[in-house]
């Protein structure tokens, strides 16, 4: 399908979504799903472009209450469904799934889906119950939408690894596609929470990508000591206006830590500036003498998935 001139349908009920899903059966291209909480920015739209390159695309807009820890911003999280609908219409999205909380968590709901291990470090240490909410809602959405490909963004690297494990462990017949982190011109990773920042706070927030720059520079200079690199990232983040949750170097395979950095690793930072909790990360393949920027998971890049699924639209090289 090409770009749409008519309004993109907003579906509220699982039954409506399933009826649409049946209409999409039989195509040579996969049905692709992009789960979001709405308030779509350019990073979201880039993920939708990746999705549309593979096949018919369904985008969910659902602010999931169970992934917000006590005291977080659930009530004030931006909700702009009509504006999101217009952005998605321009990209030719087939439908928006925007259910109510009661439609996702039916009255009397008592079921939760837990991924252990990968959810313990990083954000798991600072956001009580967050990943339990993420894995539960994604399981529900996967069962309703029944996509063949699901697209997530690498900005939420730990979430991507958790969803990858969820799909594997529960035998979902879904390919995970991880799109690159979208960035603003000032280097800040795109996030709906960036709108909480004042101009002065946004300038302060640029220490997050700078901390990753510092980690990359040390790795490229030959440094392999994890503690030294983490300390250097902490030094960059050490500003009065910044409340740091973590600045870690973790193995991608299990999010564990090694004294000496080698193999596929992710440098990940999380900090609160003003009223915004922000994340950023950068992934590296680290050898004894060579360091290169790398995708989080090679088998989850759009380029890799294009070997399995014929693309219906070409993608710019930076997305591959």
- Record the tokens describing residue 294, joined without a space: 């790398």
Number of domains in the chain: 2
Residue closest to 92 by CA, chosen among 153, 45, 60? 45
Same domain, 288 and 263: yes
Q: Is the pLDDT of residue 26 over 90?
A: no
- In this structure, are residues 144 and 14 in contact, taking their beta carbons and an 8 Å threshold? yes
Tell me how far apart the alpha carbons of residues 290 and 143 are, in angstroms, rounded to a whole number. Answer: 43
Domain hosting residue 236, numbered range: 192-293
Residue 172 and residue 201 in one domain: no
Q: Is 60 left (phi over 0), alpha (psi -120 to 50) or beta?
A: beta
The answer to whether residue 185 sits within a structural domain is no
Q: Which residues contact 166 (CB under 8 A, 6 or more apart)?
A: 113, 115, 135, 138, 139, 172
Q: Report if residue 318 sits inside a domain.
A: no
Average pLDDT of every residue of the chain: 95
In a domain, 317, yes or no: no
For residue 139, tell me if it sits in a domain: yes
Q: What is the pLDDT of residues 251-278, one digit of tens each?
A: 999 999 999 999 999 999 999 999 999 9
pLDDT for 5 equals 54
Over range 275-288, report the average pLDDT.
Answer: 97
Q: Are residues 202 and 287 in the same domain?
A: yes
Distance of CA 89 to the CA centre of its chain: 22
Confidence of residue 3 (pLDDT cuts 50, 70, 90): very low
Residue 135 sits in the same domain as residue 210: no
Same domain, 262 and 276: yes
Asked whether residue 187 is domain-assigned, the answer is: no
Share of the chain above pLDDT 70, in %: 98
Residue 242 counted as domain residue: yes
Q: Are residue 279 and residue 305 in the same domain, yes or no?
A: no
15 and 143 inside one domain: yes
**Which active-site residues does the annotation give?**
44
> φ, ψ for residue 225 (rounded to 5)?
-80, 115
- Categorize the per-residue pLDDT at 313 as very low, low, confident or very high, splitting at 50, 70 and 90: confident
Mean pLDDT of 218-244: 98
Domain identity same for 100 and 68: yes
Q: Is 226's pLDDT higher than 70? A: yes
Whether 162 and 213 map to the same domain: the answer is no
Interval 66-103: pLDDT, tens:
999 998 999 999 999 999 999 999 999 999 999 999 99
Instruction: Let me know whether 27 and 171 are in one domain.
Output: yes
CATH number reported for the structural domain that contains residue 21 in this entry: 3.40.50.620
Q: Are residues 120 and 168 in the same domain?
A: yes
**Same structural domain for residues 175 and 221?**
no
Q: What is the DSSP string of the chain?
A: ----SSPPPEE-SHHHHHHHHHHTTT-SS--EEEEE-S---HHHHHHHHHHHHHS-EEEEE---GGGSPTTSSTTTS---HHHHHHHHHHTT-SEEE---HHHHS-TT--------STTSSTHHHHSTTHHHHHHHHHHHHHHHH--SEEEEEGGGHHHHHHHHHHHHHTT---EEEEEPPPB-TTSPBP-GGGGG--HHHHHHHTHHHHHHHHHHHHHHTT--BHHHHHHHHHHHH--TTEEEEEEEEEETTTS---SB--EEEEEEEEEEETTEEEEEEEEEEE-SS-EEE--S-GGGSHHHHTTTS--SS---GGG-
- Domain-embedded: residue 186: no
Answer yes or no: is 39 within a domain. yes
Cβ–Cβ contacts within 10 Å for residue 129, how many?
15
The string of pLDDT tens digits covering residues 113-167 is 999 999 999 999 999 999 999 999 999 999 999 999 999 999 999 999 999 999 9
């Amino acid at each position: 399908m090409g770009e749409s001139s008519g309004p993109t349908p907003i579906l509220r009920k699982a039954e409506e979504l399933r009826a649409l899903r049946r209409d999409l059966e039989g195509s040579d291209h996969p049905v692709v799903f992009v789960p979001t909480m709405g308030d779509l920015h350019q990073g979201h739209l880039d993920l939708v472009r990746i999705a549309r390159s593979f096949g018919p695309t369904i985008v969910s807009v659902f602010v999931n209450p169970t992934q917000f820890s006590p005291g977080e911003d659930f009530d004030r999280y931006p909700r702009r469904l009509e504006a999101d609908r217009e952005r998605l219409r321009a990209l030719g999205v087939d439908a928006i799934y925007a259910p109510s909380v009661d439609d996702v968590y039916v009255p009397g709901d008592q079921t939760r889906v837990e991924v252990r291990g990968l959810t313990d470090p990083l954000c798991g240490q600072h956001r009580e119950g967050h990943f339990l909410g993420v894995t539960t809602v994604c399981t529900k959405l996967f069962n309703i939408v029944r996509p063949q490909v699901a697209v997530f963004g690498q900005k939420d690297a730990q979430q991507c690894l958790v969803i990858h494990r969820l799909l594997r462990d529960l035998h979902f017949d879904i390919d995970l596609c991880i799109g690159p982190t979208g960035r603003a011109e000032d280097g800040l990773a795109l996030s709906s929470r960036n709108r909480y920042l004042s101009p002065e706070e946004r300038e302060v927030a640029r220490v997050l990508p700078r901390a990753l720059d510092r980690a990359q520079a040390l790795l490229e200079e030959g440094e392999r000591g994890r503690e030294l690199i983490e300390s250097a990232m902490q030094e960059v983040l050490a500003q009065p206006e910044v409340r740091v949750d973590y600045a870690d170097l973790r193995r991608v395979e299990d999010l564990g830590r090694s004294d000496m950095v080698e193999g596929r690793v992710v440098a990940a930072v999380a900090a609160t500036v003003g009223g915004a909790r922000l994340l950023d990360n950068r992934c590296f393949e680290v050898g004894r003498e060579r360091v290169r920027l790398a995708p989080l998971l090679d088998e989850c890049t759009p380029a890799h998935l294009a070997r399995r699924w014929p693309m219906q639209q070409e993608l710019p090289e930076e997305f591959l």
